[in-house]
Amino acid sequence: MGETQPPEKVPVPEENPSVERQAVPEKPPVPQEKPQKPDSKGEAHDNRPAQPVDPRSTASRSAIMPAGEVACRKRLDGLGVEFEEREPESDPSGCALPYPIAVKSFGKTVGITPDALMDCAMAEAAARFATGIVSPAAKTTYGAELKSVSQASAYVCRPRNGSTKLSEHAFGNALDIARFILADGTAIDIGPTPDPKAAKFLADIRESACGPFKTVLGPGSDADHERHFHLDLAPRRNGGTFCQ
């Protein structure tokens, strides 16, 4: 008998070093955020709905002053308000005041310091408030009429405190009053703890301001209004008011 030959070993194929092993992921991959669709120019845009824009933010100044602005200025002249025309105000954030005026007095007998930049409608409302409400109330309570108003803020490009929504100041549609000075030199500061006489006077004119103005805020409203009256003509539904 012949010798038995050992069985041949089956060759094991060698690994191809050019082929990389793919690691098995431990967790399924997290789907990536869907890329924004490019427009016809190849630029990507955010398709999320935009926040509503205040229509006043897009107001522009025309070559000819609108009839309403002209009529308002004639009424200011009739009230004896001293004012100057100023260049339009605008800002990328949305602040806009296309027909501003710098108010230097609220009438022949009532001044304002410093000059206040605002919209004409706001200037008219503030002048009527100062001469028609504050001055007679001062005469009744103190025996002396109003001489001047110290303002803390008029047109300012900023949002509301604690909010991203633009303030009415950003449209020249608000005025902050910090002090009233009477003809006899009496100064009445707006604050959280006025004396009893001043407290009654301030409470009376504050109540009377609600109506002519759409927003009236002051001491007790919140911490931001502890030392001034905030008055504005904010457009509200059905002409409503917000007074605190």
What pLDDT does 70 receive?
Answer: 98
Instruction: State mean pLDDT over 129-153.
Output: 98
Copy the structure tokens of residue 219.
């001491």
CA distance 64 to 98: 12
Lowest mean pLDDT of 27-31, 165-169, 235-239, name the range: 27-31
The whole-model pTM stands at 0.77
CA 68, 63, 54, 93: dihedral to nearest 10 degrees?
Answer: -140
Are 178 and 227 spatial neighbours (Cβ–Cβ below 8 Å)?
yes
Are 151 and 112 spatial neighbours (Cβ–Cβ below 8 Å)?
yes
Q: Which CATH architecture has domain 63-84+92-243?
A: 2-Layer Sandwich (3.30)
Are 104 and 112 spatial neighbours (Cβ–Cβ below 8 Å)?
yes
Q: What percent of the chain has pLDDT over 70?
A: 79
User: Nearest Cα to 141, choosing from 180, 112, 111?
Assistant: 180
Residues 6+ apart with CB under 8 A from 172: 89, 97, 100, 117, 118, 119, 122, 154, 155
CA distance 186 to 195: 13
41-69: pLDDT as tens digits: 555 454 544 456 888 998 889 989 999 99
Q: Is the pLDDT of residue 13 over 90?
A: no
